[in-house]
Amino acid sequence: MKILVTGGLGFIGSHTVVELQNEGFEVVVIDNLSNSSEDVLKGIEAITGKKPLFEKLDLREKSAVQDFFKKHADVNGVIHFAASKAVGESVGNPLLYYENNINALVYILQELEKKQEANFIFSSSCTVYGQAETMPINEDSAVQPAMSPYGNTKQIGEEIITDVAKVSGINAILLRYFNPIGAHPSVEIGELPIGVPQNLVPFITQTGIGLRKELMVYGNDYPTPDGTCIRDYIHVVDLAKAHVVALQRLLNKKNQDKVETFNLGTGVGSSVLEVINAFEKVSGQKLAYQIVDRREGDVTLAYADTTKANEVLGWKTQSTLEQAMESAWKWEQKIRS
């Protein structure tokens, strides 16, 4: 079985390639290297002993996408990660996000709809829920108006996939991630943020290693037990495994609808201060931080109701926040050594 993983040299993509290879799938990766490096291929090979096929290509070039699917007509499934994903950047540069995240998706779907049958896994995000009314958040929670062009591209992407699946042989699963963190326990692959990290955990580990002076905690006046925002931090390896389970669901025709949606989280909410405490515990060192103003666009609370993923998809997370933080810290130490 040959699986295409777009964005397969990225953070979640690379961890998913490893899990696919562990399950015996042949993997072909497309990546334009705009937010990753070909060295990641070596990391994947170091873990699985197999180097995936790799094609450097920009999915915004329609002809390149068409050529790829002519060459790899035997692809049995597609897991689509390739997208720009920085919330803040998307506000300042919306067209980059609409072109990269929407056009690329359309070009891939145009190739898949030519097939009798196609299996498609889409990388979506809990961002689509905005500040959900009730906690924990389940898949029936209302999709709220996006707070950023990035979030909007995920909502639009889900709608496009749903519309196309109705009139084609495409079967799709939309995976709404909560907050992916950590790194592969082998420390051969992990998160490689470019520039100043926007996300909490890489900023914490870079502060811990001395790359950043201190962490700015964006507000401690939220209506939460310790005043800081609460999120559902999921180990990236657990998240990667969910993609393999979802793909196998489609390949084995176990899906109950043409498009299914699953929230992927631990079901446990952790505050910023609790994440800092987890870091201090696993690293044995104090973290320098200060409380500053709230960050525009942050929601107070977001953690998943994992019932559907556990009972229907048949997947659940195995790692704790501390284990995920420990893997992130080990990775930071490795790449700075």
Q: Is 218 in the active site?
A: no
Look up residue 263 and give its two tokens: 């929230």
C-beta of 67 vs 226, nearer to ligand WQD: 226
Full strand arrangement of the beta sheet holding 259-264: 53-56, 26-31, 2-6, 75-80, 118-125, 170-177, 259-264
C-beta of 169 vs 219, nearer to ligand WQD: 219
| Of the candidate residues 85, 241, 243, 249, the single one contacting ligand WQD (CB under 6 A) | 85
Shortest spacing between CB 53 and ligand WQD, in angstroms: 26
Stretch of residues binding ligand WQD (CB under 6 A), selected from 52-60, 112-120, 209-217, 304-312: 209-217
Q: Quick one: which of 110, 46, 81, 47 has its CA closest to 247?
A: 81
Task: Give the DSSP H/E element, type plus range, for residue 46.
Answer: helix 39-48
Residue 141 touching ligand WQD (CB under 6 A): no
Residue 205 touching ligand WQD (CB under 6 A): no
- State the DSSP code for 128: G
C-beta of 47 vs 325, nearer to ligand WQD: 325
Q: Are 317 and 245 in contact (CB under 8 A)?
A: no
Gyration radius of the chain over CA positions: 19
Backbone angles phi, psi at 197, to 5 degrees: -65, 135
x-or-dash string of contact with ligand WQD, 267-306, rule CB under 6 A? -----x----------------------x--x--------
Residue 206 touching ligand WQD (CB under 6 A): no
x-or-dash string of contact with ligand WQD, 147-186, rule CB under 6 A? ------------------------------x-x-------
Shortest spacing between CB 207 and ligand WQD, in angstroms: 9
Q: Quick one: which of 129, 103, 290, 323 has its CA closest to 207?
A: 290
Residue 59 touching ligand WQD (CB under 6 A): no
Catalytic residue among 97, 107, 129, 150: 150
Query: What CA–CA distances, in Å, run from 80 to 59, 115, 119, 166, 227?
Result: 11, 17, 11, 19, 36
Q: Are 227 and 301 in contact (CB under 8 A)?
A: no
Residues that bind ligand WQD (CB under 6 A): 85, 87, 125, 127, 177, 179, 198-200, 203, 215-218, 229, 231, 272, 295, 298
Could you list the active site residues?
150
